[in-house]
C-alpha cells in the first residue's frame, strides 16, 4: 500500500536522537533552544516557542491573544479539528468563515461580509485563525488589512505550510500576523515525532507563550511579585500547562530541519509531475499559484464526474492509499451539538464531498507515482 503521506528519517536523524540519549538531559537541555533558534533563522521570525504539538501551540496562541470565555474565535471549516478546538479550550465560542473554491483557503469576500455583519451585531471575533491548506499560504496581506482595524488577533495555523513562501518570504515570518503555529507530526513538512512551535515577532507575546507552555511559572526576577527568595526560587504567575517539547524530540526536529528545503523541492517536483500527467482526467487539480510557493503538504484533486466513495475504494483495492481532507469541522457531531448544521458553509461541504488526497511525500519514487497515476486512470475510465 502506498500511503498518502510518510516521514523520511535518515541515519543523521537517528544519530542526533541517540546523541541526546547519551547526554545528561533528555528534556530541558540545550537542544530545544537550538531548535527554536534554527526555526527563527529559517522562517525569519524573531521568537520561537517549541511545544509538544501544534494543538498545544494553537491553545497557547489563543491564550496569549487573550481569548477567554465570552469571546468568539473564527477559523475555517476546511481543516483539522484542532484549528477550532483551541478556542473551545479557552471557553470561547467558535464560528467559521467559508473557503474559496479555488484555493480552498479562507475566502476573502466571505471574511469581508462576515466582518461587516459582526460589526453591526457587536460580535466581532477576538481572534481569527487562518489555515494554509495543503501548504498554500492564505492572502495574509489582505486578511490583515481587514482584521487590523478591529484589533482582531491574527493567528496562522501553518501546520501544513513550513517551507512554503508568501510574497517572497518564508511562511512563519509573521509579517502579516501576530503568531504562526507549526506542526512536526510525521506527515508534516518535517517531523519531531510529536511536536510543534509558535512563532512571533512580538517579545511580550513570546514571553506569554513560554509562560503558558511551562505551568505559568517563571524564574525571571523581573516577572515576579515581591522578593526573589534564592537561586531555587520560581513563581507561578499564571495558570499554565506542561506543553514543553523534550530535547529528544527537538534533536529529531533540528536534524530534519537541515533537510526541509530538499523535502519541499521534492514535493514540488512531484506536484508538477502530477499536474502534467493528470490534466486530461475529469479532475480539478490544485490551483496554478500553488505549484511554486506551496509547501505541498497534500496533493488534493476534486472529482468532477465520479463517485468519491467508489473511487476511493477502487484505489484502495489496488494498493493506493488515498485519503480525504477535510471533513468540515462544523459537521462533526461535537460542533453540530453547538448548533452548526449541513448547509452552513457550502463551499467547504462541496469540496469535502468531491475531494481525494493522492500520495505525496519526499520519498515517493517516480515509479510509485506513475503507478498512482495509472491506477487512477484505470479507476476513472
- Site residues for ligand PLP per CB under 6 A: 53-55, 79-80, 82-83, 131, 157, 159-160, 183, 185, 196
Q: How far is the CB of 157 from ligand PLP (least distance, A)?
A: 5
Which CB, 61 or 278, lies closer to ligand PLP? 61
DSSP string, 182-209: EE--TTSSS--SS-EEEEES-HHHHHHH
For ligand PLP, the closer CB: 182 or 205: 182
* Smallest separation (angstroms) from ligand PLP to the CB of 251: 17
**Closest distance to ligand PLP from the beta carbon of 180 (Å):** 12
Q: Of 42 and 375, which CB lies nearer to ligand PLP in the complex structure? A: 42
Q: Which is nearer to ligand PLP, 157 or 302 (by Cβ)?
A: 157
Grid coordinates in use for 214? 511551562
Task: Closer to ligand PLP by CB, 50 or 270: give it.
Answer: 50
In angstroms, the CA 290 to CA 286 distance is 7
- Find the shortest distance in angstroms from Cβ 185 to ligand PLP: 4
DSSP string, 13-78: HHHHHHHHHTSS-SSSSSHHHHHHHHHHHHH--SEEEEES-HHHHHHHHHHHTT--TT-EEEE-SS
User: How far is the CA of 161 from the CAs of 270, 327, 334, in angstroms?
Assistant: 17, 20, 27
Main-chain phi, psi angles of 190, to 5 degrees: -135, 160
How near is the Cβ of 273 to ligand PLP at its closest, in Å?
24
Nearer to ligand PLP, 56 or 375 (CB): 56
In the complex with ligand PLP, which residue's Cβ is closer, 98 or 157? 157
Strands 299-303 and 355-358: antiparallel
Query: Which sign does the torsion angle of CA 26, 28, 29, 34 carry?
Result: positive
| C-alpha R_g of the chain | 21
Nearer to ligand PLP, 293 or 357 (CB): 357
End-to-end Cα, the chain, rounded Å: 21
**Nearest distance, CB of residue 161 and ligand PLP, angstroms:** 9
Minimum distance of ligand PLP from residue 52's CB (angstroms)? 8
In the complex, least distance from residue 214 CB atom to ligand PLP, rounded to whole angstroms: 18
Taking the least distance from each CB to ligand PLP, the nearer of 16 and 191 is 191
Least Cα distance to 46 among 243, 206, 247 occurs for 206
H-assigned helices in the chain: 11-21, 31-43, 54-64, 82-89, 108-120, 140-147, 203-213, 247-257, 260-278, 290-293, 308-317, 333-337, 346-354, 366-380
Smallest gap, in angstroms, from Cβ of residue 82 to ligand PLP? 4
Q: Which residues of 340-350 are buried (b: 16+ CB within 10 A; e: fewer)?
A: beeebbebbbe
* 3-state SS assignment for residue 149: helix
Q: Rounded to the nearest whole angstrom, what is the least distance from the CB of residue 225 to ligand PLP in the complex? A: 34
Comparing CA positions, the residue from 92, 91, 94 lying closest to residue 77 is 94
Shorter beta-carbon distance to ligand PLP: residue 134 or 303: 134
Amino acid at each position: 500500500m502506498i500511503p498518502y503521506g510518510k516521514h523520511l528519517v535518515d541515519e543523521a536523524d537517528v544519530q542526533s536522537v541517540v546523541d541526546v540519549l547519551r547526554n545528561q538531559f533528555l528534556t530541558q537541555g540545550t537542544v530545544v533552544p537550538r531548535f527554536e533558534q534554527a526555526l527563527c533563522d529559517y522562517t525569519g521570525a524573531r521568537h520561537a516557542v517549541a511545544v509538544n504539538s501544534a494543538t498545544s501551540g494553537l491553545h497557547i496562541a489563543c491564550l496569549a491573544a487573550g481569548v477567554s470565555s465570552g469571546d468568539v474565535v473564527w477559523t475555517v471549516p476546511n481543516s483539522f479539528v484542532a484549528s477550532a478546538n483551541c478556542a473551545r479550550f479557552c471557553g470561547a465560542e467558535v464560528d467559521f468563515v467559508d473557503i474559496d473554491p479555488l484555493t480552498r483557503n479562507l475566502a476573502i469576500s466571505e471574511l469581508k461580509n462576515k466582518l461587516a455583519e459582526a460589526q453591526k451585531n457587536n460580535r466581532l471575533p477576538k481572534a481569527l485563525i487562518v489555515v494554509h491548506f495543503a501548504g498554500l499560504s492564505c492572502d495574509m496581506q489582505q486578511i490583515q488589512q481587514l482584521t487590523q482595524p478591529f484589533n482582531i488577533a491574527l493567528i496562522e495555523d501553518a501546520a501544513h505550510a513550513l517551507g512554503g513562501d508568501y510574497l517572497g518570504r518564508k511562511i512563519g515570518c509573521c509579517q502579516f500576523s501576530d503568531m504562526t503555529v507549526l506542526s512536526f507530526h510525521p506527515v508534516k513538512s518535517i517531523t519531531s515525532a510529536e511536536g510543534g512551535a509558535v512563532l512571533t515577532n512580538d517579545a511580550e507575546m513570546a514571553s506569554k507563550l513560554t509562560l503558558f507552555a511551562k505551568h505559568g511559572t517563571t524564574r525571571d526576577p523581573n516577572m515576579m511579585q515581591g522578593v526573589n527568595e534564592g537561586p531555587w526560587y520560581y513563581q507561578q504567575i499564571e495558570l499554565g500547562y506542561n506543553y514543553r517539547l523534550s530535547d529528544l524530540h527537538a534533536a529529531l526536529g533540528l536534524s530534519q530541519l537541515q533537510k526541509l528545503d530538499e523535502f519541499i523541492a521534492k514535493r514540488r517536483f512531484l506536484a508538477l509531475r502530477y499536474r502534467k500527467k493528470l490534466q486530461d482526467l475529469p479532475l480539478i487539480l490544485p490551483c496554478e499559484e500553488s505549484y511554486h510557493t506551496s509547501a505541498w503538504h497534500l496533493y488534493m484533486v476534486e472529482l468532477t464526474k465520479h463517485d468519491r466513495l467508489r473511487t476511493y475504494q477502487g484505489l484502495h483495492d489496488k494498493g493506493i492509499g488515498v485519503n480525504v481532507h477535510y471533513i468540515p469541522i462544523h459537521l462533526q457531531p461535537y460542533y453540530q451539538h453547538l448548533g452548526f448544521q449541513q448547509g452552513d458553509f457550502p463551499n467547504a461541504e462541496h469540496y469535502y464531498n468531491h475531494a481525494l488526497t493522492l500520495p505525496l511525500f519526499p520519498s515517493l519514487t517516480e515509479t510509485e507515482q506513475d503507478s498512482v497515476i495509472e491506477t487512477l486512470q484505470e479507476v476513472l475510465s
